[in-house]
Structure 1
Amino acid sequence: MTISGQLSRIGLAGALLGAALGLSATVHAQGNVNQASAEIRRTQFGVPHIRAENERGLGYGIGYAYAQDNLCLLANEVVTVNAQRSRYFGPEQRTVEQRENRASDLFFSWLNTPQAVSGFWQAQMPPVQQLVEGYVAGYNRALAERQAKGLPEQCTGEWVRPLTAFDLVKLTRRLLVEGGVGQFAEALAGAQPPRATAQNAGPASTFAGAADRQQRFALERGSNALAIGSERSFNGRGMLLANPHFPWVGGMRFYQMHLTIPGQLDVMGAALPGLPLINIGFSQHLAWTHTVDTSKHFTLYRLQLDPKDPTRYLLDGKSVPMSRQTVSVEVKQADGRVGTVSRVVYGSQFGPIVQWPGRLDWDNRFAYSLRDANLENDRVLAQWYAMNRAVSLKDFQDAVHRIQGIPWVNTLAVDDQGQSLYMNLSVVPNVGVDKLARCSDPRAGLQLIVLDGSRSECTWDVDPKAAQKGIYAADQLPQLLRRDFVQNSNDSAWMINPAQPLSGYSPLISQQGLPLGLRARFALDQLGRLAKDGPVEVKDLQRMVMDDRVYLADQVMPDLLEACAAESGPDAEAVAQACVALKAWDRTASLSSGPGLVHFQQIMARLQAMPDSWRVVFDPKDPQHTPRGLAIERAPVLKAVREAMAASVEEARATGVSKDLQWQDIQVASSGGRQTPIHGGPGELGIYNAIQSVPGANGKREVVSGTSYLQVVTFDGHGPKAEGLLAFSISSDPASPYSADQTQAFSRKQWSVLPFTEQQIKADPHYQALIIREGDETARVATQ
């Protein structure tokens, strides 16, 4: 199957596009000053440990190793961010995320203009440019070697080509807008004045798909993190559990690696495709991870239009013309020839116009403009570069304060001195409570912030201390340093540690008094239990993920089982079948869990849409324990419960879920014709090991996202001691020996030691080493 065929089947994480730009003569000259070289040592599961004398050499090794493992994946991402999907695969085919190619191309052509890409590149410090240039050279070398042998079936075609540095810039800019305007690609690409709406707005199904993707975004890009300090850890030093939940396919799929420049940098962890840096990892004295935050990274502006012309808007009483940017994409036509499709993207001083039928309509009175703070964030690579080089927790924290380049995630970290740190220092629009009161419509709520675009006073405030115009300064954002613990599972900053609630922030930053997610409640519950048993040990943190406990079951199962004993009616037979399965279920999402798990998911999916079903409603004074219980003593709730049970039995019958099936027979990860059973389940049920799967063939469910890179890091007097796993394995190439090995280990719940020191690396029984140097035709096998 070709990669274009795979895209329509699975879908790739959203991306950015732009014109294909070659390197300038200056970049070429800069790159050839010194020939890059790197040593790539691989240990168990093919994990690369890349060592070089400088940044260009390090990037060279990263790009080469990554291409060995994921050449087709990155080549496909490059097509996406360069707005060329319609040209090569056809306009009506879809990306992995099920976005129509034409809409994707128009969006990314708008995003990655030559000016934007060049400006981002010029803003990078020399070491970062050298990392990127080295990465490009290393990838291109691996590509040439693979082309000589024959490319994998997934990426045979003219669309596979050598990279330029600007390709990696475009990939980075895609990453930046994932939590903002990237969620509105169809709304931006299809926005047209009222007279043109009928023919240009696109089918309703396009926006239905976009709405589904927005709902899945939080599920597919969640995370858990626990940072344990000296007061709670087994040895008085810091302990970190990193459990990011990210897609298992496409452009947000983590890659595991270890990077070393002797005397300057030594860091191990995981990175997203195309990034020559570690995003989540550990070094000699500290370890850190990220969780997707709840902060707002964009705002909408409602424009009041000029009654005489819907392409003009009123600002402070004056009529102002909208800006117009023509974007063009090449499209493969039915006869195989390539044509061009152009579209005008309209904008205001706040940002592009977005049009979403039924939600954000562009009529003769109003239109909506979107301002994304991360469009101006050119500091993201410098941010992770500084974090990778940090030698202490203070150095780490100071770098985040100074640079403010983290786009849309929280940061949790520990050090070998026993400190635990939480920071929500991402890029957040500077809109305070007073401005919200003056400039927003309270009827719109706080899910989407909609400001008044007819008054210039409603623009974002400017703080001279902030690293970027219009965002909050670091000292105005939530952060907490403690010696017991901090934790986050994609909730606001409010309950990072209940002993010290964080409150009083603008709703764009953090909101208090809202129900906690079930994963956070589970974490706090477990920490409370562990406090009674003694210090926290490594096995305790690992069990939180690997025990696959369904926390919601603890809150409602007694009531479900009581509902089973209620007076029988016409639904008695169907309800009885569900009740037998529920009673036999072990209340986990383990491989051996029976059909009770399936019934529980299906029953709760229906009941969670019924907000008045709780016996004990949410109490902001007790967020750790409320809401809970099903109010089956109320007739409507009992009726709804039994109807959900009966419906679940019918659904199980239709999908072939028999009484003898186990979860390992249903949820799988496929690679190269092999299927690996995967434990875990939906995070909204309070399963810490959050796994999202979708219906596949033969009644199976195929994993698409969830637990990805796992690490538990502790310290002793010699440095870090880490265990971990990359749940979907290093390589996305089904023919690679590293495409399913860690997946199988994850299925067996077997963590591995992550070798960090030279002694550990060379002692690994799977050790192999390769030296690559620019200009040399062949790589050289290194000896110990």
Structure 2
Amino acid sequence: MRNRILAVVTAALVVLLTAGHHPLDAARPLAERVTIVRDTYGVPHIQAETEEAAGFGLGFAQAEDHIEFLARNVVEARGEAARYFGPSGLNNDLGVRRMANLEESRRHLKDLDGTYRKVLEAFAAGVTHYVSQHRAELPAWVPQQFTAADFVALPRAGTASGASSAALARALQTKYATTTSAGIEAHWIVDPASEGEGDDVGSNAFAVRGNRTTSGRAILLGNPHLSWGSLYWEAHVIVPGKLNFYGSTLAGLPWLRAGFNEHLGYVQTNNRPDLADIFALPLDPARPDRYAYDGKSWPLVSQDVSAEVLQQDGTITTERRTYLNSHLGPIVYKSATHAFAYRSSALDAWRFFEGFWRLSHAKNIGEYKKVLEKRLLPTSNFTYADAAGNILYVWNARLPRRPLDGTDYSLDVPAEPRYLWRKLHDLDELPQLLNPPGGYIQNANNPPWFVSRLDPIDPGRFPEYVERGEMALRPQLAVALLGTKDKLSVDDVRELKYSNRLLLVERVKDDLMRAVAAVADPSPDLAEARDIMAAWDNTSAAASVGGILFQRFWETYRTAAKQPFAQPWDEARPFDTPSGLADPALAVKHLEEAVAWTRKTYGTARVKWGDVNRFR
């Protein structure tokens, strides 16, 4: 493979690289049929003769940048994390092994589109090729060989381990007593006392229609911000006459998830669809190893799962667990009276990344929607814009079609045939907004009803199990920013991404200042807090003084107050609430304490935001 690092790369130069390619010859190795050119930002521009060769280049380039991160994800998806990294990986390994993650992924490779399967096999070959060239430099745990099944298994691993989440176990433990009758034990995949599930992550997306832009053309902005360790990765893939797509994905994932071609662009933000149900199976009182379903008695089938675990002294031990399965799915909890079976539409989303591959080829909104109609992609809000001027929002999910009889689907449901869903909702049954008259769409992980203040989507048109919840302050700020000008330029939209406005401060600071002013004889610390807050511009600008103090105040006040806001979030006023302070006296106390903490931590209460929050 020719891997060139150039000082400057222009789009024209990348296109001209085709002149140096050999005539198309299927017998030539893939490594000879792709060129990778990196620009001054290190972004790989992958020029390939075929899509298969492009997949090879994509895998090789990802491995160049993030081989250990990529390999660790594959090891986890194989259920071998504890073997190489110790006991912290055991719950993951037991979860994915219980779901036969790698074996099932191998079995379902046949379900993929034939062309994409070749692309996926080539991606794995590209990673393997990199490892073979750098074996001596890499840790011993990095696999020697990668396969297409590894990269089908990778996104599924999250769902497999999700069935073993501590949060799910805690919810069932809370609802149902763990006390059991003689001879019956409570079962769950993971101890409910385990730690939480990780960071709350998400992204922002804006699409602005031509009636709201200075150019008259649509503008799309994607602002992904998952955790630091997620390793977003950019690339440009060119297959002359077939594909010219620039976008991003997460390291280890086998195609670009978001980006643009000559005709259109799209980005995703996390949504919260309910893809899984827990079925409460009544146990047979006389035979607790059996359960009742649809008038028949069914056996609970034991499954032995083992995983190797690296110990601190370097030895390897084997941990074994015995789990129970039903014909509806794995049992995640068992009480004295019921066994609870888990079923998720994401577990059979074998063509997940085929969906992104297909989207990257779309030439217009019709082709784009046809891909989404295939229900290949399990989750995400999709925000779209195209050269024809269209903008589109879709709340996407492989959402099970459930009975609309008032049942609460948030945790467990009766184990009755009518609740055993067999179909997914069609695309046209999901919330979406096309070319709104108000001229914009935004999503910052908010429920779909609030993508526009001017053109709201009516939740009453959709089942209750479609995502509900509050409009958080981050998307409220996005809506406010989009309303600051009648017409927006590309630079304007880009600047919205970098806004340092703090909407929380704008909602509560007036109440806080009034409460401080009401104190007849403020302490020196409270007086200093008053002066800092009064002079503060309410932003997180690097030179701004006050943000660190306020952040500490809010963290402790919010924890101490049962309800921190005088006006909690109100669905009738979703873009203007919450606001005010519910307990001004308590707020004053915590503001005063925040001064002492900030001074002790940073040497002064007047610390600048940029002195604390910075890159090194």
Q: TM-score range by the shorter chain?
A: 0.7 to 0.9
- Please say if 1:452 is aligned against 2:446: no
Note the alpha carbon deviations across 1:436-459, whole angstroms, 9 max, x for none: x2x44xxxxx7x332112x22222
Residue 430 of structure 1 aligns with which residue? 401
What pairs up with 1:29-428 in 2 under 5 angstroms?
A: 35-36=29-30, 37-91=33-87, 100-148=88-136, 150-151=137-138, 156-174=139-157, 180-181=162-163, 183=165, 187=169, 205-206=193-194, 209=195, 212-213=196-197, 216=199, 219-220=200-201, 222-249=202-229, 252-333=230-311, 336-355=314-333, 362-401=334-373, 403-428=374-399
1:516 lines up with 2:510 in the alignment:
no
Code of the aligned partner of 1:88:
Y
Q: By how many angstroms is 1:261 displaced? A: 0.8
Distance of aligned partners of 1:32 and 1:322 in 2 relative to their CA distance in 1, 3 Å threshold = farther
For 1:481, give the aligned amino acid.
L
The answer as to whether partners of 2:220 and 2:385 remain within 8 angstroms in 1 is: yes
Residue matched to 1:505: 462
Structure 1, residues 318-337: CA drift from partner, whole Å, max 9, x if none? 43222332221112346533
| AA aligned opposite 1:661 | V
Long gaps (5+) in structure 1: 1-30, 92-99, 356-361, 441-445, 461-468, 632-636, 670-674, 676-784
Q: State the distance in 2 between where 1:67 and 1:121 align.
A: 22
Query: Does residue 1:475 correspond to 2:423, yes or no?
Result: no
The aligned counterpart of 1:558 is: 510
In the aligned structure 1, how far is the partner of 2:609 from the partner of 2:540? Answer: 7
Instruction: Give the aligned partner of residue 648 of structure 1.
Output: 594
Matches of 2:472 and 2:332, distance apart in 1: 31
CA 1:646–1:236: 2 relative to 1, 3 Å: same
2:584 to 618, 638, 642: 638
**How well do the aligned residues superpose, as a CA RMSD in angstroms?**
2.9
- Does 2:519 align with 1:567? yes
Deviation at 1:32, TM superposition (A): 8.7
Residue 288 of structure 1: SS of its match in structure 2?
A: strand
Q: Match of 1:510, as an amino acid?
A: E
Q: Deviations over 1:215-265 (max 9, x none)?
A: x3xx22x1111111111112111101101221221xx42210001111111
How far did 1:593 drift? 2.8
Q: Equivalent residue of 1:44, what SS?
A: coil
Superposed displacement of residue 278, structure 1: 1.3
- Mapping of 1:507-546 within 5 angstroms? 507-511=464-468, 515-531=470-486, 535-546=487-498
**CA displacement, residues 113-134 of structure 1 (integer Å, 9 cap, x when unaligned):** 4541123312111221111121
User: Quick one: which amino acid aligns to residue 543 of structure 1?
Assistant: E
Query: Aligned residue for 1:548?
Result: 500
Query: How many aligned residue pairs are there?
Result: 578
**Contact preservation (8 Å) 1:515, 1:620:** yes
Equivalence for 1:658: 604
Contact 2:164–2:189, Cα closer than 8 Å, also in 1: no
Measured in 2, the distance between the counterparts of 1:201 and 1:183 equals 8
Letter in 2 for 1:381: F
Q: Distance in 2 between matches of 1:109 and 1:239?
A: 44
Query: Structure 1 258/665 Cα, relative in aligned 2: closer, same or farther at 3 Å?
Result: same
Q: Does residue 600 of structure 1 match 2:550?
A: yes
Q: Partner letter of residue 387 of structure 2?
A: D
**SS of corresponding position for 2:140:** coil
Q: Which amino acid aligns with 1:476?
A: E
Rounded to whole Å, the distance in 2 between the matches of 1:311 and 1:656 is 60
1:583 and 2:577 correspond: no
Q: Counterpart amino acid of 2:413? A: L
Could you give the per-residue CA deviations for residues 92-135 of structure 1, whole angstroms, max 9, x where no partner exists? xxxxxxxx321111112123445411233121112211111211
Q: Which has the higher contact order (CA 8 A, sep 6+)?
A: 1
In structure 2, the partner of 1:743 is none
C-alpha distance 66-317 of structure 1, shift in aligned 2 (>3 A): same
User: Cα distance 1:541–1:288, how it changes in 2: closer, same or farther (>3 A)?
Assistant: same
**1:80–1:655: structure 2 CA closer, same or farther, 3 Å change rule?**
farther
Q: Quick check: 1:88–1:159 contact (8 Å CA) kept in 2? A: no
Distance 1:115 1:561, change over 3 A: same
Q: CA deviation at 1:426?
A: 1.5
Q: Is the 8 A contact 1:294 1:491 kept in 2?
A: no
TM-score by length of 2: 0.86
- Deviation of 1:630 after TM superposition, in Å, equals 2.4
Contact residue 188 and residue 332 of structure 2 kept, 8 A: no
Q: How many Å apart are 1:204 and its aligned residue?
A: 6.2
Q: Aligned-pair distance for 1:391?
A: 0.8
d(CA) in 2 for partners of 1:143 and 1:351? 38
Contact 1:87 1:332 in 2 (8 A): yes
Work out the CA distance in 2 between the residues paired with 1:614 and 1:270. Answer: 39
Q: Secondary structure at the match of 1:397?
A: helix
Q: Deviations over 1:444-487 (max 9, x none)?
A: xx7x332112x222222xxxxxxxx4321212111111151111
